[in-house]
Structure 1
Amino acid sequence: MSRALGTAVLLLAAVLVLLPFVYMIAVSLAPAGALWSGSLLPRPGLAAARDNYAFALTQVPLLRYMANGAFVCGMILLLQVLIAAPAGYALAKLPFRGRGVLFGAVILALMIPIQVPAIPLYVGLAYAGLLNTYTALILPFVISAFAIFLFRQFFASYPDEVLDAARLDGFSELAIVWRLMLPAAWPAVAAFATISVIAHWNDLYWPLVVITDTDMMTPPLGLAAFRSSGESTGNPGALMAGGVMVTAPLVIGFAFFQRHLIRGLGIGAT
C-alpha cells in the first residue's frame, strides 16, 4: 500500500508539472476558435497547426532569436569552463595562503543574484558602448561561482598520487587541468553545462536590461516582444507555437544529459 501510494503521488505530481506543456502543445496545434470551446484540451487540426507555426516563423525572426540564444549560451559556457576548471583545481589541489578565504568568497558569491550588481554592470557597459551587443549578454556571466564550486568538489576527490606522477612526467599544472582533470570530470562538466544552458537560454531579466535591438534579442525576450507587439493578438496558437519551438531544444538536451546531470550533482554534493 505504501508503494502504491507513493507511486500515485508521483504520478499526480508528474501530471501537474506536465499539464501546462501539454496544453501549450495542444493550443499550438489548434485553431484560434478552439481555444474558447470550453474543453480542457483544444482539438488539434493539421491546417491550424501549419498556420500557427508558419505565422510564428514569418511574423517575427524566431530563428534569429534562437540562433542568438545558442551563441550566447555556448560562449558563456565555454568561458565559464575555461575559468572555473583552473580555479576549481587550484582551490582543491594547490596549497597556498588564503585558499580557505577564497573558497569562502566563492560560497558567498553563490548567494548573490544578478539583480544585485545589475545597475553598476549596466552603467559600466553603457559607458563602454557595449549595450545591444553580444558582449553585454555574455560578459557578466563568464565567472560562475557555482561552476568553481562544482569543479572544486569533483577535483578534491581526485587521487593525489596520479597528480604527483603527472608532475614527475613533466606535466605543468595547466596541462594537468586540461589533460587529466577535466576529461575525468565529464559528469561535472555535463551537469554544469545543462544547468548553465537552461539558465541562460531562459533568462529574460538581463537581456531585457541591456538589449533593445530586435536583431540581438534572445528567445525569451523575442517571445515577450512578439506578445507585446500585437502580432499575436487574436492568435494565441502562434504564440504557443513559438513557445514550443523555443522550449523543444531544452527538453531534448535535458533528456540527453539527464543521467550525467544527476551523477554530476551527486558528485558535487560529496
Structure 2
Amino acid sequence: MSTLLLLAGATLILLPFIWMLSLSLKPQDEIFASTITLLPSRLEWGNYVKAFTETNIPLFLWNGFVVVAGILFFQLLFSIPCAFALAQRNFRLRTVVFGLVLAALLVPFHVTAIPIFLGLAAVNLLDSYAALILPFIPTAFGIFLFRQFFAQMSTELFDAARVDGLSETAVVWRIAFPLALPAATAFAIFSVTAHWNDLFWPLIATTSPEIATPPRGILYFRDQESGDDVGPLMAGAVIITAPLVLAFLFAQRKFMQGLAAGGLKG
C-alpha cells in the first residue's frame, strides 16, 4: 500500500514535467488539439531548433552557471567558518547569534527585496552579475545546516590538529570541510536549484538580455518579436531543466547523506 501511495505521489509530481516534455516534441497543431495525448504523432525536433535560434539559450545557460557558481562559492566561503565557530568554539553570545540565525530562516527574501534593490541602485550595481550574486551570499540556511553537521564532530579531532600546529583557518578548510562534503553536496543542490530556477529577483534586478539567467531568458519567447510559440517555449524549459536533473542524479547519494548528517531528514 505504501508503495502504491509513493508511486501515486511521484506520478503527480512528475506529471507536469512529462507534459512539458511531450509539448516540446509536438507539432503546433497537436499542442492545441481538442484531445489530450502524451505521445505526439511525430517528433517535432524543430521546436528545439527554434529554442536555440530564436533566443540565445547558450548565453542564458552560461549566465545561469556564472550566477549559481558565484553564489555557491561565496556562500560556502562565509557560511562554513561561521558554522564551525558556532559549533566548535565557545564565545560570548554564541547562543544569541545562533538564535538570530534561526530567526533569519523565518524571513523570506521577498521581504528584503525592496531595500536590497534600493541599495544596489544607490551604488549603481543593478543590471549586473553583482546584482544577481551579492544579495544571496548571506545564507542562514547554510550556516544552520553546516552548524548541525559540525556539532556532531568530535572536538578532540580539531584539538589534535591545533596541537600539530594548524591555524584555525587551516583546521576549518583542511580538516572540517573535507569531512563535511556530504553536507556541502546537499547544500549545493538546494542552492543551485533555488537560484537556477529563480525568476523573481532577475526579473527585478536586470533588464539586459546579455546577463539574463535561464528563467529570465526564456521569457523572450513571449515577447512581441518572438511571439507566444508554445512548442519552442516548452523545448527551452526542457533545456534549462535538464542540467539540474542530471546534477541531482549524479549527486543524490551524497545529497541524502548530507540531509541525514545535518539533522534534516524526517
User: Does the pair score TM above 0.5?
Assistant: yes
Which digits, 9 at most, give the CA deviation of each residue in 1:48-90, with x for residues without a partner? 21x1111011111111111101100001000000001100010
Which amino acid counterpart does residue 40 of structure 2 have in structure 1?
R
Count of aligned pairs between the two proteins: 263
Identify if the C-alpha distance between structure 1 residues 44 and 93 changes in structure 2 by more than 3 Å, giving closer, same or farther: farther
Correspondence for 2:60: 65
Asked if the contact 2:55/2:220 (under 8 Å) is kept, the reply is no
Which digits, 9 at most, give the CA deviation of each residue in 1:136-191, with x for residues without a partner? 00000111111111111111111111111111110111100000000000100000
Q: Does 1:162 align with 2:157?
A: yes
Residue segments in structure 1 that go unaligned for 5+ positions in a row: none
Asked if the contact 1:137/1:206 (under 8 Å) is kept, the reply is yes
Match of 2:13 among 17, 20, 25: 17
Match of 1:254 among 239, 248, 256: 248
Q: CA RMSD in A?
A: 1.3
Q: Distance in 1 between matches of 2:87 and 2:41?
A: 55
**Worse-matched range after superposition: 8-17 or 198-207:** 8-17
Which digits, 9 at most, give the CA deviation of each residue in 1:75-124, with x for residues without a partner? 10000000011000100111100101000010011111111111111111
Correspondence for 2:233: 239
Q: Does 1:39 align with 2:26?
A: no
Asked if the contact 2:47/2:231 (under 8 Å) is kept, the reply is yes
Q: Does 1:7 align with 2:3?
A: yes
Question: TM-score, structure 1 length as denominator?
Answer: 0.94
Q: Distance in 1 between matches of 2:106 and 2:224?
A: 36
Q: Distance in 2 between matches of 1:107 and 1:222?
A: 34
Structure 1 segments, 4+ long, off by >4 Å, are none
Asked if the contact 1:26/1:42 (under 8 Å) is kept, the reply is yes
Displacement of 1:232 after TM fit? 4.2
Residue segments in structure 2 that go unaligned for 5+ positions in a row: none
Q: Does 1:184 align with 2:184?
A: no
Question: TM-score, structure 2 length as denominator?
Answer: 0.95
Identical aligned residues as a percent: 47
Q: Distance in 2 between matches of 1:218 and 1:256?
A: 23
Counterpart mapping for 1:78-157 below 5 A: 78-157=73-152
Counterpart mapping for 1:213-232 below 5 A: 213-229=208-224, 231-232=226-227
Which amino acid counterpart does residue 201 of structure 1 have in structure 2?
W
Q: Distance in 2 between matches of 1:250 and 1:159?
A: 34
Asked if the contact 1:34/1:42 (under 8 Å) is kept, the reply is no
**Worse-matched range after superposition: 126-135 or 31-40:** 31-40
